[in-house]
Amino acid sequence: MRVIAWLVEGTWPACVDAVRTHAPADSEVVLLHVSGPDVPGVAHGAFAGLLGRGGPRRDPGTRLEDLGSTSAAELLDAAAERLGRPYVRMERAGRVEREVVAAADDADLLVLARDGDRARLGPHSLGPAVRFAVDHAPCPVLLVWPEAAPGISTLPPPPPPHH
């Protein structure tokens, strides 16, 4: 069995914990991090907007790309330490939600964390990227809460009966 955990800044510990709890001991665990293009892209754009400031040597977007791959590696290191069992690491770059679905192609389970507005429980507790991955994943999905799951008392009152 191949289990892929998609790790995102801010919510990854919950995914690692879910793998520890739910992945069978003999399964192959893949820790996946995807770097999106938009953060360095915005810095490239801001520099391009600075008209006439000379060559690409000073472009902060390039530094952000380097820093980004370092921080992705650090996140995977921290996750590996928390996992405490053999794993395969996978770093990808591109449109995040599409890379996740592509990476899950030969997986038997995809583990991911809610990335939406968890203050109001409902459809918006999934952000666009997780929503896309849940909809298009080619395998079963284990969707976890970044913090403790809400209790049953948070259920809204039932809708009024129709007449």
- Cβ burial, residue 19 (10 Å; 0-12/13-18/19+): buried
* Cβ at position 74, least distance to other proteins in Å: 7
Count of residues interacting with other proteins (CB under 8 A): 46
Bridge-partner residues for 139, per DSSP?
none
CA angle (102 as vertex; 97, 107 as ends), nearest 5: 115
53 touching other proteins, by CB under 8 A: yes
Which positions from 132 to 161 touch other proteins by CB under 8 A, shown as an x/- string? --------------x---------------
* Cβ at position 2, least distance to other proteins in Å: 25
Of 25-33, 54-62, 100-108, 133-141, the segment contacting other proteins by CB under 8 A is 54-62
Close Cβ partners of 56 (under 8 Å, ≥ 6 residues apart): 62
Going through the chain in order, the beta strands assigned E by DSSP cover: 2-6, 28-35, 88-93, 109-113, 141-144
SS3 133: helix
Shorter beta-carbon distance to other proteins: residue 7 or 107:
7
Chain positions 95 to 124 lying near other proteins, rule: CB under 8 A, are 115-119
Place of tokens 């801010």: 10
Bridge-partner residues for 5, per DSSP?
31, 111
9 touching other proteins, by CB under 8 A: yes
Q: Which residues bind other proteins (CB under 8 A)?
A: 8-13, 37-56, 58, 60-61, 63-65, 67-68, 70-71, 74-75, 78, 115-119, 127, 146
